[in-house]
Amino acid sequence: MNTPIRIVVVDDHTLFRRGLTALLSREPQFQVVGDAADGGEALRRVKDLQPDLVLLDNHLPGVNGVDMLPALREAAPAARVLMLTVSEDERDLAAALRGGACGYLLKTIEGDALAHSIRRAMSGENVIAAEMTGKLVSAFQASSAATPAPAPEAPRDTLSPREQEIVRLIARGASNKEIGRDLGIAETTVKIHVQHVLRKLGLSSRVQAAVYASEHGLR
């Protein structure tokens, strides 16, 4: 039997925390090991429990969730942090990506989609709400303005036709499994292609690949 994904829920609304905990508890793969209503409590719980994943709201009493990312990552270095918020502000998206969040979801998400996103995040993917993908370019530009840019981009023609197809699908938010199904190739083959794409383009994440696709007409 697979070890369940241990989750801490951080949100200042009690009813939302309880509802989310009940929703996640329906999935045998998930185990909500704790929750918190504010930043201080969140840091204590995360440090004590060392969860696999933190679901983090952005609007907490006295602090924005995105501003807590460095402290949360220090408290539990192995944990992945997934934003779950109502904010559709591209500046919050940029701050989350810059701070090391593995994804940015909106609270309007359906339960099944949330469960799928958590699994994707735990497999190493970046997950972004469909409503926010159009803001990725602005968010990445805002993030780049605050931190030095990584390696320069490689020209588009360095990508093979198959790699360009994969970048297009990444930009649409497709998972490796979905890309494999669309292209008729194995999921492991997709992972290899994604690694090659990131290395060729001098990028470090699927989010940056999605931004690259938007900026270069690969949509």
Domain that holds residue 192: 156-215
Give the confidence band of 58 by pLDDT, cuts at 50, 70, 90.
Answer: very high
Q: Among residues of the chain, what percentage have pLDDT more than 70?
A: 88
pLDDT higher than threshold 90 for residue 202: no
Single-letter amino acid, residue 19: G
Residue 151 in any domain: the answer is no
Single-letter amino acid, residue 154: A
What CATH number does residue 201 fall under? 1.10.10.10
**Cβ 59 vs Cβ 67: under 8 Å:** no
Residue 130 in any domain: the answer is yes
Same domain, 26 and 100: yes
Question: 154-182: per-residue pLDDT in tens?
Answer: 445 688 888 888 888 887 777 888 898 99
End-to-end CA separation in angstroms for the chain = 40
**Cβ 91 vs Cβ 58: under 8 Å:** no
Question: What is the count of structural domains for the chain?
Answer: 2
Query: What per-residue confidence (pLDDT) applies to 197?
Result: 87
pLDDT higher than threshold 70 for residue 84: yes
Same domain, 70 and 47: yes
Query: What per-residue confidence (pLDDT) applies to 93?
Result: 87
Q: What is the pTM of this model?
A: 0.71
Question: What's the mean pLDDT when you consider all of the chain?
Answer: 85
Query: What per-residue confidence (pLDDT) applies to 19?
Result: 95
Q: Among residues of the chain, what percentage have pLDDT more than 90?
A: 48
Residue 148 in any domain: the answer is no
pLDDT higher than threshold 50 for residue 148: no
Give the confidence band of 140 by pLDDT, cuts at 50, 70, 90.
Answer: low
Same domain, 106 and 193: no
The torsion region of residue 173 among left (phi > 0), alpha (psi -120 to 50) and beta comes to left
Average pLDDT (137-152) is 53
Same domain, 37 and 132: yes
